[in-house]
Every structure is written in structure tokens, then in C-alpha cells.
Structure 1
Amino acid sequence: MDSLNKKGKMTPNFNTTPPKTINDMVTDQMRNNPCCFFCIMKEPDTSLRRSCLATCFNEMSVINRDDQQHVLVLSGLWNIAMAQPDDPEFISLGIFDCMVSLLEKGTNDRSWLFRGQNIYIPYYAAHVIGSYTMNKVEFAEKAVVAGVIPPLMELLRGKISWVEQRVAVRALGHLASYERTFEAVAAYEEELVRLTMNLASTCLDQVYTKFVGVKDENKRSKYHCDLLTRGVGGLEMENRKAEEWASQLQCWSLYLLNCFACKERSLNLICNQGFLVDLCGMWGGLVNHSSPAGVGLIRILCYSKYGRQNISESKQVLENLCHLSRSSDDWQYMGIDCLLLLLKDIDTRYKVIEIVTMFLIDLVELKSLGDRSNLGETITKTLLLDYKQSKFRIKNSHVLKALQQTWELKEERRKREKTMSVEKIEEKRVLVNLIKQQANHVFWLGDVEEAIKMYNEALDTCPLKLRKERMVLYSNRAQCYLLLRDPDAAIRDSTRALCLSNPTNSHGKSLWRRSQAYDMKGLAKESLMDCIMFINSVTTTTTNKRVKIPYYAARMISKQMEATWLFVNAKSKFTRSDDDYEISSNEDDHQLDCDEMMRQMMMMMMEKKSIASGLSTIIEEPLIAKGKNWREMERARRRNKTAFNVMARSM
């Protein structure tokens, strides 16, 4: 205020501080209480709220305090970004510039990073960037202009930890997915591709050794635990979330690589033979339902000539694609697509045909798969593309015989039966049923080889139009091969039966038989998927809402869950006598883990396949308790054997 002079007159006080503006007051509040962000969000006056938020973002980027409330603000922004990723308000107020400043501070100033709760800030900042660039290219462009890529690259290089790598690769993947921002990401192309390939191949080992495998809870990173569970849940919840995040880290890494592979960029790096083999073991599906993981990238590579050339030179990759093509995995069609692309390319056709043919011939009667119709016809035409010339180029007699059988089945036999009358077809149906009954009788007398011969006769007699009858014949013959310990033949016949089922891959007995055959061959993933689909078929064929999972199927799932656990390879690599790492020796604890994993996977698959509606509970038959006497255990063994035989009696 003004002061009085000696004569009593008012004179202006030029040293008086001018009144503060709204922005000045917000700045002061932010310095003293960053949590006022949440108060600002409640401000009903839009222009005032926007002005305060702009100041808030500006002050957050320069404040150098270690107040816990800064983390609360970032956590709040993370929630908003996840819930409303398409809202432009924060974008227009400079949120990207704010996040860039925080990331740069976290990656460049280690002393600041490890003070207070600042360690959480880079994770939330990168996550906010990834959420806001997820759907809109105009947001992605503003993020690039704000300079988000350099600090995200620092996180990708592992400047902090795998948790920050997860959100960095997610954000970079979004930026690389748009034409208008791709080149900004590609400025780091070679380094980025190499880093991402390495991350996809090693992230499971990294998460296991640095977190999941740590036996002593006190030695786990506290801030990792807090981020994973938000402070809710104990060790079990932490491990479950770590498994989910590790799978996401791998899948998002593959998504980023896909962005380059789609443009045929860096194929010389991505098509490294060792990495192609690694891709076969990168499984999406159950953990990340919408991600095809490794096979998705392999299919992208198969669209390019360079990619096909490299894939055709890897026997291991080809065999994995072949196994996938004869499975009930959701990505079965991708395996088939890859094999067809390799066969249609004249430069790779004869490199792969001797391996591929022996698998694809079992799919020639496949009618539809997902949204693909007449897929069997496409497979047949591709296999027989140059049938007459191929006879002189293929040296393997088994492959030549298989192609000959396909020709006779799909060409010559179809022509013969095309003019067959309805009465003739019905006569053959009756004859086939008689032969099948005789074969079933011979089978139960124990002469399995003779039963196979009779099933062969029935299949040769049965018209192609009688798909249901042929499905049962193939399935019964598969059971015979199982008893003869010939898993390859059992898989072939089960697959042919499942191709004839309506819908595809829905015949319960064939699924169970193929699951057993895959188990014999040590193909745990394929066995697991068939077993889950078998249980789904059991649950949908009963009106009882309290469904009991067959004991033998529950045991199979438990076994294959253990074999296909996300960290199983990491555990086998790094299990040692070091106290920091867990070495499981308690069978009871391990069984409980497997049972819980099986329960969770069943629930996920039921939901995923949309067939669980109307099922209130699913109860597994109890395991035999320890301490039972011999007679009780023997009775239980007989019950299990009977349950298995009941399935075969309806052959």
C-alpha cells in the first residue's frame, strides 16, 4: 500500500509487490502441495481448469522435490490416460512435454531417481505416453514433436529396469504403427530392432531371475512389487502379475518388430536363424488372448520373399509351423497360412515340400476354419500345384505316396462318386456300419491290428459325402494306433477326424486321443490345447450345471501346464543352489501351484471360447488322498480305468 510523507501526503510505494495472478497462485500451491492437481480436476469452470492444468504440467516438469504427492499426481494421470486415451484436453495442455521432462530427469539424474519415491515416476510417465498414443495419430505426432522418443529409447536400453522397458516398448510400438510417425522411430532403426529382438528373446529369463525366482521376499524390488499389485495381494498375486507383465513385454516387443517387418525393413536382422527359432517358443494365446506372439511375426515374414527364403532354411521353424497347423490352437490358421505361402513360392516350394506335405495332407478335408471357407480345397490345390512335375523332383517315397493318396482321394474318387445315386450312397452307409461294428468287436477281443485293417476297409468303402461316418472311423482307428504306441499315426487320424467334425476341432474323443498322442511325443503345448478343448466339449454336452472334469483329463492338464509354464525354460536355465533363487523340491506345494494354474487357465479358456455360459461351477474329481489303504487305491485305479474305457466303448 502507499505510505504517508512528512507533509501528510500519500506517496506511491514503488517497492510494493504486484498482486498475484491465478497462475502464480497455482504455482505456489504446486510448490507446496502438488496434490492440488486433484482439486483442479474438480474445477467446474473450464477455462480456469485448463489454465491451472497447463501451469500444473509446467510446474511438474521443473519441480525438484521428493514429495510422495508427485507420484500420486502421476498415478492419477495414469488412471485418466488409461480410462480416456482419446481425450484431447491434456494433449493440448502440454502433457507430453511434462512427461518428457520427467523421463529425462529419471534417466539422467540417478541421485534424483533414487530419492523419495521418484523411482516410480519414469514408469508412470512412459505409461501415460503409451496410452495417449494408442489410438490417435494426431496425438502420436504431438508426442514425437515433444521429443518422447529419445527418453523412451533410454528406457528400452534398460537404463532402469524391465518394468520400464515394458511400458517403453509399448509406447514405441504405438508410435511405429502410424505412417506419419514411423520414420521418427525408424531414425533409431538398427539399434531399436536389435534391442527389441534381444528383449523378446531374453525378457522371460530376466523377469524370472530378477523377480519371480527370487526366494526371499525381502530381496525383491519393493517398487516392482508395488507397481505389480498396487499394494494389494501377497506373493501369489505378485508372481501372477509378473507372469502377465512378462508375457506382455514379449508380445509388445514382437508388435514393435512387426511394424518394421510389415514394411520389409531390417529383415536381415529379424530373419536371424537363431531368432526365428526363438519365435517358435514365444506363445501368446492363453496369457495374452489377442496376441499371436511369435507365429504372428513369422507369418508377416512369410509375406516377403526374403522372409520365406530364410524360414524355408530352418527345419525347426518348419516343424513348429507344421505342428501348429495340426492343432486346436486359435492360431492354427496362421500356421497353415505360412505353409501355403512357402509352397506357392517356386523358390521355396521344393525346400519345404517333403516336410510340409506329411502334415498338410491330414487337412485336405477341412471345410472351414474361423472365417476361412473351403480351406481344405485350397490346401489340396497347393499340394497338387504341379503334381505331375513334382514326381521327378521329390526323392522321398513317403511324400510321393502321400501326394498320390491325396490325388486319388480328392480328384479321382470324387469324380467316381459324383454320379453316385442316393440309393447307392445309402447302401454303402449300411455296409460301412456293418464293417465298423465288426471292427469294434475285433478291437474289444484284443486284435488291434485286425481292427485297423477293417477300419481301412470301411474308410475305402465309405463315400466322401458321409463325413460323420468317416469321422468316427478315423477316430476309432486313431485309438488303435494309440494302443500300438504309434503316436504319429494316431495324430494323423485324429486330425482327419477333427477336420470332418462340425464345427472343426469339436469331436471330443478325437481331441482326447490326439492329446494323448501329442503327450507321447512330448509336444506339451499341443497336448494341452487339445485337452482343454476336450474338456470344453464334455462340459457342453451335459445339462448338469455342476460339471465334473474327468480325472484323467485333469491330470493331463496339470502335467502339461507344468511343462508349458511361461518361465519353465528360464527356471531350468537358472535353477541353482544360490539362496536368492528358488529350487522347488516340495511336491505338495508344486501340485497346489499346478492345480491353481489349471483352474485359472480353464476359466480363461472357457471365457475365451464363449462356451462357459450357464455353467455355475466346474468341479474337479478329487485326487486320491495320501494314507488310503491298498484296497481303496486299487478301487480308485479301476474307476479311472473304467472312465477311460467308457469313452472307447462308443466307438
Structure 2
Amino acid sequence: MKSQMKKKRVNPIPNTPCNVAEGSCRGHLCIKPCCFFCSMREPDASLRRAGIATCFREMPQAQGENHHEHVLVLSGLWHIAMSQPNDSEFPSLGIFKCMASLIHKGINDRNWLLTNQNIYIPYYAAHIIGSYTMNKEEFAQKAVQSGVIPPLLDLLSGKISWVEQRVAVRALGHLASYKSTFESVAQHEQEVVKLALKLASTCLQVVYVDFVALKENKRLEYHRNLMTRGVGDLEMENRKAEEWASQLQCWSLYLLNCFACKDRSLDLICKKVFLKDLCDMWGGLISHTSPAGVGLIRILCYSKVGRKNIAELPKVVNTLGNLSRSSDDWQYIGIDCLLLLLKDPDTRYKVLDVAASYLVDLIELRSLGDKSNVGETISKVLLNLKPNREKVGAALLQEVVDRRNKDKLLSEEKLEETRVLVSLIKQQANHMFRLGEVEEALLKYSEALGVCPLRFRKERMVIYSNKAQCHILLKNADSAISDSTRALCLSNPANTHRKSLWRRSQAYDMKGMAKESLMDCIMFINMTMRVKIPYHAARMISKHMEATWLFATARSKVEKTTQELNQVGGDNENGGNHEEQPRDHEAKMMMMENRYNNLLHGLSTIIEEPFHAKEAGRRKMERARRRFNKGVVAGPT
């Protein structure tokens, strides 16, 4: 099948439907009995609509030469659906039934599928369905009535390739998100959920093996054309493959969310293996509008069954804890999940020790994004666990409560005296630190915190950050993370104190936690964008980009499998099958450069964007490459 798909590389996508119409019919009278482009140009509205409806009815039945321009029609419809998804004209004229029939034909008639450029049609058809059902429930209802679900399920099962799976799961996710059409999808509940579970867990491996790891001339041509609109280069292909793989995983999780939020199929979703897999399904950097795996974990935490299963898995609870003490955009999800587990009397004692050790560092956090009184909420939950307060940082919690009451009684004169005392003790600690007496300095910083009123948030922030630096020098990563997190909670706004971000990044690096270290380092760089990127930060990012690369796990599996095969089969003359080997060093560096640019500027991928000119893309990538090189090779500032 793959060898049959390898065709001459052409651009299957016109710039606009009008260009196709002009190219097809310009300069002579069109003699086709039913021409979509002629119908589109018909000035009479009623005749135009009638002609388009006829085209939609007859397109799936076209035989012989009458179907050789279907891909041009579909690509034109794709552009319209992307740019005008709320326009009711085509949905009212039968576009959904036409798309469903074309998908069905592509799956069941391989000769037709491999004729001309018909291989593109199932992808476009599913994408058109997804685009029109994205915003309008009435369109989703028409799509379901037109029978789109069975052919979409065929694509979801992988009857063609992962590229079609991507747009099929997107369309099914939109259909499952509406109350009026959910039950139509749920009629195939077991099949849909099992396919989505498998896709979420395996799609990165599939995309890597079937596309990214292959040499350029071994990749399916129509995949390459769809990704780059037929005019991209290897660099663009690799970037789009990473985006599409992330979308495929995130949309699979979104489809599962539609069932989980209705407490459906929780017995399948809450299997231990899959819950552990969710911890490694990361949104954020690539699909930054999707919380990915942790988003589904949060939905599960709202159900009794979900909390019960999550509480029994230390890996999941620790993932939520690490998220709650990070610079990730989804930090609040980690906090929310831990609080839900602690509020449930059936799960709190299973997670108490672990969850409280993370949350106690956040009790002075005032706001997080649009959420206020975060620390107060955490404190109330922890203090209500009275029989086990000795396990939840009771000393610190009680200290906070006592100090809040004590601070209210302090006069302005007494407060000023205390400020001077704190400053004096901190100076002593700084002097010891400079002399290399780190342990003594740490004790002095703790003494300063002991007398510093809670309302002196800035002073406390600096002292906690200095404590974190001491812990780093003493190789105590856990304490460094704890103290730097407390400092970041005291910053205004939260998570913006540069030194604490860098120190926590170092501490996470010491523990081998690449993702958390990378997020803090990115945040640190964002705080220093007005100046040249520090060498040590660029080096940290360069180190962790490779470890957190979307396909890092898939690549390691391929390399391990290749090594095992070589050991079993012996070294042949060519040293094994190099066609299946990962990308060479140059391609890897191009991907790292592009990833670095994405980290700094963000990259919207959940909503697919129209193609931009190749030249503009090259200029953008050249600027990114220059910036990356400048950041990496520059000396310390």
C-alpha cells in the first residue's frame, strides 16, 4: 500500500477555489454536465445553490474521467471550511453526506483511492466535517444525520494512515462535545473509547516510525504534500510532523474527555497502564492550548471512580505535585487535583503524605492567573485534616496562622524595628555565605524568616530564595525546590522572581526532572528578554530540549529495538538497516533550533492555520536560527 502511494510530488492544494475555477474553465465554455467551479461562479443565487447541491450528490458516484478533479474541489472546500466554518450554505446543500460517501469510497475502493490524486480526498473530507462542526451544534446535528460517524470511525481505526486518524479524531471530538450529538457517538462507545485510548498512547511512536525517522525519499509523498502544501522542505516537514503528532494525541484525549466528563467508560479510561501513560502526555509547549494528559486527569478527579484509581498510583499523584510546583501554564490543575483528592474522605489518607508535602509550599500563594486566594484555599483544606496535621506540615501551617494573628497586633513602630532586625540578620547570613560558610548562612536565613512578619512579602521572598541557593550548594535539591517555590509564591505576580526561577531550574536539573527544569528556565528567560540571553540559561535549554522532545521516548525505543536486532542478527556489511534509523545530526539540530523558537514565542496548533508562503517561512526560520546561535555561543553576561 505504501509503495503504491508514492507518487510524483506535486502541490495538490490551490491557493483559492477561484484559482482552480479559472484554471479549469478559463478561456472556453465548460462542457461538464456538473462542474462545481462553474456552479460557484453562477450569479443567480437559486441556480448556484441548485448546481452545488447537484455536485454534492453526484460527486461520490462519478466514474472514469469525471472524478479526476475531485481533489481540486475538496481542497477548495477545505479552504472555505477553514476560513468560513460558520457559513451555513454548504452544510444546508448536502456537503456532509457527500464527504461521508467519499470517505467510505476511499476506504472500500482501493483502486479508486490510488487513482490520480484521490489519496488526498479522505483527509480533506474528514477535515471539512471537523471544521464545519467545530462551532455550530446545528451543523453537527446535520453531519450526524448524514451518516458521517461510521466512515470517521473507519478512519480512526487506521484503515488508511495516521494522517487520516488525526482529522477523524478531531471531527469525532467535535461531534461528541455537543449534548444533542453525543449519544450518536456514544452508540459506538466501546469502539470509540478503545480506539482513542490506543491512539493517545501510541500515536507518537507511530508518527516517529512511519515518518520522522525515515529518510526524506522514504516518506509517503502525500503525507509530505499535506503537511507543507507541496512546497515545503525537510525542515518544515519535521516541524509539521511534530505539530500534527501533538495534535493527534491532544485531540484523542479531548475525545476521551467528552466521555469522562459524563462519567462514561471510566472502567476503560481508568486502567492503571493508561493513567500512568497520561503523566507523560504533555501539552503546553507544542499544543499550548491543550492541557493534554493532566487535563483528563483533572476530569477524572471530579468523579468518585476517577479519584479512587488515581489515589492508588503514586506516579500520578507525584506528577500532580510536580505540576503544582512548576511554571507550567497548567499549574493550577495540579493544585486543583490534589485538593480534590484530599477533600474526598475515601482518598485523602492514601495521598495525604505526598500531596501535603507539595501543597504546604504554596500556602502563601495569593493569586494564580485569574484564580484568587489560592493559598487560603490550600491552608483551609490542610488545616481541616486535624487528626493528621502532624503529617501535613503542621509546624509551618500553625506558624502561618499564629503570625497572621500576631501581625495584626503589631504597631507601625514595632514593625519597623522588626524590619531592621531582619535586615541585620540577613546581612550576617550574606557575609557567612560569601565566606563559604554555607551551612551557617542557612541557619541565619532561617533565623531571619523566624522573626520576619508575613506582610513583609518581598523580604521573605529574598530570604527564601537565598536559602534555596544554599541548599543547591549543599546538593539538597528537594529543599531547594521547596524554598524557591515559596519564594515564587511571594513574588508579585506569582512565579516572576528571576533568581528563584533559575535556582529551582537548577534544582530540578539536579534531580533529572528535565521538563520542570526547562519550564522554569524558559520563564527565567522571559524575565530577561530585554537583554542578551545568559549563556548558562541557553545551555540549560539546549540540554533539556533534547530530553523533552516530543519523540524522545519513541526514538529511544527505535534505537533500542535496532540495537537488539543488530545483536541478534549480527552486524551486516551496511551496519543494519539505516533507512529506519533516526534523523542525522544536522536534521536533529534543525529541529532543536525550531523548537527553541517555539518555546520562546509559543505556537498555536490546535486550530490549524492556512499555509504561508515558503519564502516567508524561510525568513522566519533564518531569524530563529540566528537567534538560537546567538544565545548558545554568547559568553556569560
TM-score, normalization by structure 2: 0.87
2:490 matches 1:500: yes
Which is bigger in relative contact order (C-alpha 8 A, separation at least 6)?
A: 2
- After TM superposition, give the deviation of residue 620 of structure 1 in Å: 5.7
Corresponding residue SS for 1:580:
helix
Per-residue deviation, 1:602: 1.3
Structure 2: gaps spanning 5 or more residues:
1-28, 563-575, 607-622
Counterpart of 1:390, as a letter, is N
Partner deviation per Cα, 1:106-152 (whole Å, 9 max, x = no partner)? 11111211122111111111111111111111111111111100111
Do the aligned residues in 2 keep the contact of 1:548 with 1:621 (CA within 8 Å)?
Answer: no
The DSSP-based 3-state class of the residue aligned with 2:69 is helix
Deviation, structure 1 residue 306: 0.5
Shift of 1:30: 8.9
Please report how far the alpha carbon of residue 232 of structure 1 lies from its aligned counterpart in structure 2 after TM superposition.
1.7
1:246 aligns with 245
Cα deviation for residue 410 of structure 1 reads 2.3
Q: How does 1:131-146 map to 2 (within 5 A)?
A: 131-146=131-146
Task: Write the distance in 1 (CA, Å) between the matches of 2:283 and 2:309.
Answer: 23
Contact 2:317 2:355 in 1 (8 A): yes
- 1-structure distance, mates of 2:40, 2:631: 56
Over the aligned positions, Cα root-mean-square deviation in angstroms equals 2.2
Residue 331 of structure 1 is matched in structure 2 by 330
Query: In the alignment, what sits opposite 1:455?
Result: 445
Q: Which residue in the other structure is 1:6 paired with?
A: none
Q: Is the 8 A contact 1:326 1:332 kept in 2?
A: yes
State the match for 1:600 in structure 2. Answer: 598
Equivalent residues of 1:551, 1:621 under 8 A apart: no
The answer to whether 1:255 aligns with 2:238 is no
Listed as ranges, the matches of 1:574-589 within 5 Å are 574-575=558-559, 576=562, 577-583=576-582, 586=585
**Structure 2 counterparts to residues 251-290 of structure 1, below 5 A:** 251-290=250-289
Which of the two has higher C-alpha Rg? 1
CA contact (8 A) 1:549 1:620 kept: no
Tell me, in whole angstroms, the C-alpha distance in 1 between the residues paired with 2:337 and 2:511. 23
Structure 2 equivalent of residue 648 of structure 1: none
Distance of aligned partners of 1:414 and 1:433 in 2 relative to their CA distance in 1, 3 Å threshold:
same
Work out the CA distance in 2 between the residues paired with 1:530 and 1:165. 34
- Residue 513 of structure 2 aligns with an amino acid whose one-letter code is L
Q: How does 1:365-376 map to 2 (within 5 A)?
A: 365-376=364-375
Instruction: Tell me the equivalent position of 1:481.
Output: 471
On the 8 A contact 2:156/2:164 being kept in 1, the answer is yes
- Classify the secondary structure of the residue corresponding to 2:532: strand
Residues 341-350 or 596-605, more deviating = 596-605
Q: How far apart are the structure 1 equivalents of 2:118 and 2:577? A: 31
Q: Counterpart amino acid of 1:339? A: L
Partner in structure 1 of residue 175 of structure 2: 175
What's the offset of the Cα at 1:623? 7.6
Aligned to 1:39: 38
- Alpha-carbon distance, 1:401 to partner: 6.1
For 1:538, what is the secondary structure of its paired residue?
coil
**How far apart in 2 are the matches of 1:567 and 1:166?**
17
Whichever residue aligns with residue 268 of structure 2, its letter is: L
Residue matched to 2:84: 84
Deviation of the 1:416 alpha carbon: 2.0
Range with greater deviation from structure 2 (41-50 or 61-70): 61-70
Paired residue secondary structure (1:433)? helix
Residue in structure 1 matching 2:422, options 432, 437, 441: 432
For 1:567, the equivalent position in structure 2 comes to 551
Contact 2:288 2:604 survives alignment (8 Å): no
Alpha carbons of structure 1 residues 157 and 31: separation in structure 2 relative to 1, 3 Å? farther
1:95 maps to which residue?
A: 95
What is the CA–CA distance in structure 2 between the aligned matches of 1:412 and 1:466, rounded to whole Å?
15
Preserved contact between residue 71 and residue 118 of structure 2 (Cα < 8 Å) = yes
The residue that corresponds to 2:539 in the other structure is: 555
Identity %: 63
Q: How far 1:595 moved relative to its partner? A: 3.3
- Count of residue correspondences: 576
* Distance in 2, Cα, partners of 1:52 & 1:467: 70
Task: Say whether 1:314 aligns with 2:313.
Answer: yes
8 Å CA contact retained: 2:488, 2:501: yes
**CA positional deviation for 1:383:** 1.0
Matched, 1:518 2:508: yes
**Closer, same or farther in 2 for the Cα pair 1:401/1:162, shift >3 Å?**
closer
Q: Deviations over 1:536-571 (max 9, x none)?
A: 1112xx4xxxx3111110111111111100000000
The aligned counterpart of 2:9 is none
The one-letter code matched in structure 2 to 1:451 is A
Contact 1:384-1:403 within 8 A present in 2 as well:
no
> SS state of the match for residue 289, structure 1?
coil
Contact residue 549 and residue 619 of structure 1 kept, 8 A: no
Partners of 1:579 and 1:71 in 2: CA distance: 35
- Superposed displacement of residue 528, structure 1: 0.7
- 1:31: how far off? 8.5
Give the 3 Å change call, closer, same or farther, for CA 604–512 of structure 1 in structure 2.
same
Q: Is the 8 A contact 1:548 1:619 kept in 2?
A: no
Task: Give the conservation status (yes or no) of the 8 Å contact 1:516–1:527.
Answer: yes
Matches within 5 A, 1:215-230: 215=215, 217-230=216-229
Deviation at residue 404 of structure 1 after TM alignment: 1.8
Corresponding residue SS for 1:61: helix
Q: Which residue of 1 aligns with 2:118?
A: 118
Provide the rounded CA distance (Å) in 2 between the counterparts of 1:571 and 1:104: 34
CA distance in 2 between counterparts of 1:401 and 1:48 reads 76
Match of 1:235 in 2: 234
CA contact (8 A) 2:96 2:129 kept: yes
Q: Indicate the SS of the match to 2:580.
A: coil
**1:212 corresponding residue in structure 2:** 212
Q: How does 1:605-624 map to 2 (within 5 A)?
A: 619=627, 622=630
SS in 2 for 1:436: helix
The one-letter code of the counterpart of 2:359 is L
* 2:5 paired residue number: none
Please say which of residues 313-322 and 229-238 is displaced more in the overlay: 229-238
